[in-house]
Amino acid sequence: MNILLIDDHFCAREGVACLLKQIYPDVQVFEAESFAAGLAIANAQPLNLVLLDLQLPDCSGLEGLAKLKADFPELCVVMFSGVGDRDLVFQALKAGAMGFVVKTISRQGFVEALRDLLSGRVFLPATVTGEVPAGDVQTANGLATVTDPASLGLTPREFDILRWIARGYSNKQIALQLAIQEQTVRNHLRPIFLKFGVTRRTELLVKLFVRGIVFGKPGVGNS
């Protein structure tokens, strides 16, 4: 497995590289202190994951993200930043990021983020995943907490699935949480995407952010 770290701070790169090697003993970690250096590595090495700093000396992380996605559309690129407000996460997802990891994340949180990202799941900071107490009408920042499927034009099952999508879960993981078949999840994705006017998960997450929609903690089991 090959992971590229693009960060202009030596200590940050060394710390993350050390942690990656502890988690995955066989990982090959490539380091770059600028976007240009990182792009050269990406052109020379097959990569499984790129952790891209938001602020770089030769370009912004978002500009670098757009360039990487243009050159390598299937590459999993994750923004790695000291801040993780909703606007930044929104911009990163819109530009094609598969996730957004805040540098203040705990060791265990980082391990879980890597596991999710490498398994194809979108990873987002807890501040934007809609993890708020069920039943609240308004969150602290004024975003509407949605509890009624009909308010979004969804069936109860579509609503259940959407809440897990908002947490970044894959089809397989949603199926396990709801005790249903993975094909059942797929069958519900098309109408969900259609109702929100999107074609993929990251677009859907962006649309939820734009509309200020958050959810309470999803339920489990086949209700």
What is the per-residue pLDDT across 75-125, written as a single tens digit (0 to 9) for each?
Answer: 999 998 887 777 788 888 888 888 888 888 888 888 888 888 887 777 877
Domain CATH code at residue 86? 3.40.50.2300
pLDDT confidence of residue 170: 82
Structure tokens at 148: 């009624």
Q: Which domain does 98 fall in, by range?
A: 2-128
Give the HSE-up count for residue 136: Cα atoms under 13 Å, Cβ half-sphere.
Answer: 18
**pTM above threshold 0.85:** no
Domain count along the chain? 2
pLDDT confidence of residue 119: 78
Domain CATH code at residue 197? 1.10.10.10
The answer to the question of residue 134 being in a domain is no
d(CA 189, CA 88): 26
Are 179 and 117 part of one and the same domain? no
Domain final residue pick, 93, 128, 163: 128
Are 38 and 101 part of one and the same domain? yes
Extended beta strands in the chain, E state? 2-6, 28-32, 49-53, 77-81, 99-102, 144-146, 213-215
pLDDT confidence of residue 48: 92
What is the per-residue pLDDT across 127-136, written as a single tens digit (0 to 9) for each?
Answer: 665 543 333 3
Low-confidence ranges of the chain (pLDDT < 50): 131-142
pLDDT confidence of residue 219: 62
Are 95 and 65 part of one and the same domain? yes
